[in-house]
Chains A and B, each alone.
Chain A
Amino acid sequence: MSIEALLDGDGAVIAAAIRSRTVTATAVAEATLARIAARNPALNAFTDVTADRALAAARGVDATIAVGGDPGPLAGVPYAVKNLFDVTGLPTRAGSRIGRDNPPATEDATAITRLDAAGAVLVGALNMGEYAYDFTGENAHDGPSRNPHDVSRMAGGSSGGSGSAVGGRLVPFALGSDTNGSIRVPAAFCGTFGLKPTYGRLSRAGAMLFAGSFDHVGPLARSVADLAAVYDAMQGPDAADPVCAASVVDPLSHRLGGDVSGLRIAVAAGHFRENAAPGVLEAADGAAAALGVTREVAIPEAARARAAAFVITTIEGAQLHLPRLRARAMDFDPATRDRFLAGAMLPAGWYLAAQRFRAWYRTQVLALFETVDVILAPATPLPAPPIGGQTMTLGGATVPLRPNIGLYTQPLSFIGLPVVCVPGARGPDGLPLGVQVIAAPWAEEKALMVAAVLERSGLAHCPGLPA
């Protein structure tokens, strides 16, 4: 297999080729850097390319293999990270103009340290919506990350560069963060797999927060096996993240082929079947049909959960950025500035009511998971809109586009449920659509196993790029 063909595939195949000495990690890194140089101008996915670091890391992998050592499960697999992750030597910009004035980071985020220890090779940092307050992938400072299936369309946000780079075959996997849908939306728009793990599962240390109550980190990739391999490498407790609750490492890559016939699977009804554009519900129903699922379940008060997520997000985000809003408001992206300013002004009573409702909602949904193991739902209410779009049609009404892209993702991250976003479906205009495979807290394995079944059936796959 040529290196170019390898780079079009998934990370597991690249790692196997490197471990078997079919190709060197250095050659893979060089080819990846060349591909980024050739294709990134059209996609605008990368804001930084760490070529020297990548080549040094790749040579290290090759040296380990040369002496018969174990380079790790992700041996020589190139990857990139949303630019809110600390990367030694780079200012952590988090999509902002202000962040690029920061001194360079002096150490890597925990996620990067763990991936590097597993043999992966960091090749750069990725474009994103400013401070992660975004569903579009647009950015006034760096320009929009673009959808590899139609560069006039949004990549989705806020991990827009992550979706663009993985969907566009620049890297086999990338890290993103998800507060209200920021891994799942770009995964759906760009036709990749995405994993938002259980809240507290993976360390966020060294990743700039947005709304701490909901912030998660996780991978976008082109196969379920790669999602699982990256997830496994990132697991483990971390005292540097007070939210990281996992006390044990529970690798699951070797269990993806497990039998799911005993799992109780249902399709989300109610909120998750309302206000969808043509093709969106068909994507979820296609996954259900492939699994032989006919049952529906209603997640209670999902619309109110979304409203509460909105209130908590805007207040926590504004509080985090208050010093910057005081000092440099006009250096914010106009798309985030007024929302952050507004969030700072809101009564504490609104915030606490939303947090109290969150506890009630969590109890209800946990009770629902006593009767079901996995729930299927659409990822977004529409495929990728045109870059610069301001409105969308929702239930026959014209509404603002930006806040409503997260219609189906927000009620789930609101209580930290693990979700795998699977690609494969396309809308009437040929653009990718995603389906959320949702499990109970700490049950990532069930969601990944169901996603793997859909992948083996041929239904879930990264759609090919236009010629």
Chain B
Amino acid sequence: MTETTPKPLTEKEAEALLDAASRALALPVPEKCRAGTVTNIVAASTAAAFVMGFPLGDTDEPAPVFRA
């Protein structure tokens, strides 16, 4: 992975993402769920960093509607 690809988020960074996205989506996160949600954002960021470390070309189109 090069330095231009994302790194997994720290807990503090995940908390900042949670707070901003919570406002953007009008999705309040109950206090009881906050720590678990942060943990899962960190886990997702680890997976996303792994995915984004792969070099894709301009012709690699997304497949939101997949035809096998």
Residues of A within 8 A of B (CB): 198-200, 213, 243, 245, 301, 303-304, 307-308, 310-311, 314, 322, 325-326, 329-330, 337-339, 341-347, 349-350, 352-360, 362, 403, 415-417, 441-442
Contacts and interface: CB of A to CB of B under 8 A. Distances in A.
Interface in B17-68: 17-18, 21-22, 25-30, 32-33, 36-41, 43-45, 47-48, 50-52, 54, 56, 60-68
A353 B57 CA distance: 11
Given A307-B51, A325-B27, A353 B56 contact: yes
A357 B51 contact: yes
Contact of A326 (B28, B32, B36, B64): B28
A338 B43 CA distance: 12
A345 B37 contact: yes
A303 to B, nearest CB: 8
B63 A355 contact: yes
A301 B50 CA distance: 11
Contacts of B18: 342, 345
Nearest to A403: B43
Interface of B: 17-18, 21-22, 25-30, 32-33, 36-41, 43-45, 47-48, 50-52, 54, 56, 60-68
Contacts of A353: 48, 51-52, 56
B68 A354 contact: no
Nearest first, the 6 closest Cβ-Cβ pairs linking A and B are A338-B36, A342-B40, A441-B68, A355-B62, A345-B21, A350-B48
B63 A341 contact: no
B68 A345 contact: no
B44 A322 contact: no
A393 B27 CA distance: 36
Given A341-B37, A353-B56, 10 more contacts: A198-B68, A200-B66, A245-B68, A342-B36, A342-B39, A344-B21, A359-B61, A360-B54, A362-B66, A441-B68
A359 to B, nearest CB: 4
25 contacts: A198-B68, A213-B63, A301-B54, A304-B51, A307-B48, A307-B51, A311-B44, A311-B48, A326-B28, A338-B33, A342-B37, A342-B38, A342-B40, A345-B25, A345-B41, A346-B17, A347-B17, A354-B48, A355-B63, A356-B56, A357-B56, A358-B62, A358-B66, A359-B61, A360-B56
A338 B27 CA distance: 13
**Majority secondary structure, B binding face:** helix
Nearest to A346: B44
A416 B66 contact: yes
A352 B21 CA distance: 18
Nearest to A307: B47
A345 B21 CA distance: 5
A356 B61 contact: yes
Contacts of A329: 28-30, 33
B49 to A, nearest CB: 9
A369 to B, nearest CB: 11
Contacts of A403: 43
B67 A322 contact: no
Contacts of A311: 44, 47-48, 51
Contact of B68 (A304, A347, A416): A416
User: Which residue among B18, B26, B67, B68 has the maximum number of chain A CB atoms within 10 Å of its CB?
Assistant: B68
Nearest to A329: B30
Given A326-B28, A355-B62, A358-B66, A342 B56 contact: no
A314 B25 CA distance: 16
